Amino acid sequence: MTIRSTVNVVFHDARVIDPLLGRDGVGDVVVLDGIIVERPGEVPAGCVHVDCRGLVIAPAFVDLHCHLREPGFEEKETVASGTAAAAAGGFGVVCCMPNTRPPLDSAARADAFSEIVRRDARVRVLPIAAVTLGRRGQALVDIRALASAGVAGFSDDGDYVADTVVMRDALSQAMGLGLPVIDHAQDGRLVAGGVLNEGHVARRLKLRGMPAEAEELAVARNIALARLTGGHVHIAHITTARAVEMVRRARNEGVWVTAEVAPHHMLLTDDDAMMLDSTGVPRFVNQAKVNPPLRTRDDVAAVVRGVSEGVIDAIATDHAPHTLEDKSGSPGEAAFGISVFETALASALTASEQTDLSLARVVHCLTAGPAAVLKEGMVRPCLEPGSPASLVLFDPETKWTVDVSRFLSKGRNTPLEGRTLQGRVIATFVDGSCAFVSDSVFGERTGQRMLNPDGGDAVDPLPDIPNATQER
């Protein structure tokens, strides 16, 4: 299921936001034979013309953090289903975490995974290797061999690298290779048995909480080790106001620390983890169970400000698909995680309403921001003429209601089901080919229904596009 055909498309009158090239203004984007062309002498007959008034074109998004679950948990997600969902979310590059079975902790496993990617991926996939063998937190992986195998960084995500010496050595060794160590910064013993943020909601539900301090201790430790080694620590899914302030201060002091925030931590609070049942009894919402947990309103405001002010580099999905079964049972039994790819942009744009967070900054944190966290040159999300088109077309204003039955991800686990969000991806091109298109909207914008005769959103990338002619 690799990407198939190249396309000839002219996108007319879009707002083009390209943070790397410093472009933000209304204009056309021309793609001929899959390549971005600056000033085409002549647009060939048979080219698709898209009226993009009111729409945005940006480089396809880069996700620093997702779970594709393969190998080992294919019932939750596969490279095929996960990257289809990523494309539907506007992503052209995704970095996937190694908490698979077996975990990606050796060059041989990285090679085996690359084979799956070559066969099945619809977008670019950059694997992140474990920091420790078996993700057991003890012996360091062969950092150099994994770097040679092409991994994008190292993380025991899902677990904190609690051993300070192991983390120090990982930072020192990865630094020499220009790669980040990405830490699930949260003291595991302080949150053991917890299911949601420690606070008034946890108390009301009489459930064990996960204190903000567990994250803040780990962020402080990581900053200290980055200062000690000169290495690059990247804080995964930051959630607390005080952690954001620590990162701000450390960066001002020149410590090499970067940070990402997940869209749900920009939008939802621990109040969303509770609902009243039909008899008025408060209940925990398993779909809102995520690690780190949804925090308070003040924390949400602080992370959104952190994005706005440039303290947080990237919006990263932490797409964590699970089966319905895995998300059911008691609060303690349900798995941690939210399926995020297909609501990521809309969550960020909805969160940006009524705050200072601009659309341009959201796009930055989905493109140039995450690219700068990765090793220089690993990805270059921009609309440079002469390069194969990797771009996303989206409507920043349209409101839509989340319906998990339409997800391309196998993971239907989201607390956003039924919620109305703002901002919708219309099409994603990756390396010159169409990886996702919303047939209905694309059809409207070109004046004809080009793809699925039944009018549903396209699930497959569409060989019909090159042949579909429509003059404006």
Active-site residue numbers?
Answer: 318
Report, in Å, the least distance between residue 182 CB and ligand DOR. Answer: 11
Binding mask 87-116 for ligand DOR (x = CB under 6 A): ------------x-----------------
Which of 15, 49, 122, 184 binds ligand DOR (CB under 6 A)? It is 184
Q: Is 242 helix (H, G, I), strand (E, B) or coil?
A: helix
- Write the DSSP assignment of 11-25 as a string of letters: EEEEEEEETTTTEEE
Report, in Å, the least distance between residue 158 CB and ligand DOR. Answer: 4
Q: Which amino acid is at 227?
A: R
Residue closest to ligand DOR, measured at CB: 337
Report, in Å, the least distance between residue 414 CB and ligand DOR. Answer: 12
Which of 105, 120, 156, 157 binds ligand DOR (CB under 6 A)? It is 157
For residue 295, count other CB atoms closer than 10 A to its CB: 25
Which residues, including other chains, have CB under 8 Å from residue 192's CB and lie 6 or more apart?
none
For residue 379, count other CB atoms closer than 10 A to its CB: 24
Measured from the CB atom, is 219 or 450 closer to ligand DOR? 219
CA-based Rg of the chain, rounded to a whole angstrom? Answer: 21
Q: Per CB under 6 A, does 158 bind ligand DOR?
A: yes
CA distance 337 to 318: 8
Binding mask 123-142 for ligand DOR (x = CB under 6 A): --------------------
Report, in Å, the least distance between residue 403 CB and ligand DOR. Answer: 22
Which residues, including other chains, have CB under 8 Å from residue 310's CB and lie 6 or more apart?
none
Measured from the CB atom, is 174 or 182 closer to ligand DOR? 182
Report, in Å, the least distance between residue 337 CB and ligand DOR. Answer: 3
Maximum distance among all Cα pairs of the chain, rounded to whole angstroms: 69
Report, in Å, the least distance between residue 327 CB and ligand DOR. Answer: 10
Contact 212, 291 (CB under 8 A): no
Q: Per CB under 6 A, does 290 bind ligand DOR?
A: yes
Q: Per CB under 6 A, does 265 bind ligand DOR?
A: no
CA distance 100 to 109: 11
Q: Phi and psi of 391, rounded to 5°?
A: -150, 160
- Write the DSSP assignment of 143-193 as a string of letters: HHHHHHTT---B--TTS----HHHHHHHHHHHHTTT--EEE--S-HHHHTT
Q: Is 74 helix (H, G, I), strand (E, B) or coil?
A: coil
> DSSP state, 4?
-
CA neighbor of 423 nearest in space, from 93, 66, 86, 54: 54
Q: Which amino acid is at 186?
A: Q
Beta bridge partners of 421: 400
Report, in Å, the least distance between residue 324 CB and ligand DOR. Answer: 14
Q: Per CB under 6 A, does 161 bind ligand DOR?
A: no
> What is the number of alpha carbons within 13 Å of residue 21 lying toward its C-beta?
14
Measured from the CB atom, is 67 or 248 closer to ligand DOR? 67
Q: What angle do CA 221, 225, 227 make, to 5 degrees?
A: 120
Measured from the CB atom, is 49 or 221 closer to ligand DOR? 221
Going by their DSSP bridges, the two strands 9-18 and 23-32 should be labelled as antiparallel
Measured from the CB atom, is 135 or 424 closer to ligand DOR? 135
Q: Per CB under 6 A, does 194 bind ligand DOR?
A: no
Measured from the CB atom, is 83 or 173 closer to ligand DOR? 83
Task: Count residues binding ligand DOR (CB under 6 A).
Answer: 10
> DSSP state, 49?
E
CA dihedral 155, 188, 103, 327 (to 10 degrees): -110
Report, in Å, the least distance between residue 340 CB and ligand DOR. Answer: 10
Report, in Å, the least distance between residue 265 CB and ligand DOR. Answer: 11
Angstrom distances, CA of residue 2 to CA of 23, 123, 225, 462: 31, 8, 41, 12
CA distance 112 to 151: 13
Residue list 67-86, contact with ligand DOR (CB under 6 A): 67
Residue list 296-335, contact with ligand DOR (CB under 6 A): 320
Residue list 41-70, contact with ligand DOR (CB under 6 A): 67
Which of 291, 367, 422, 428 binds ligand DOR (CB under 6 A)? It is 291
Site residues (vs ligand DOR, CB under 6 A): 67, 99, 157-158, 184, 290-291, 320, 336-337
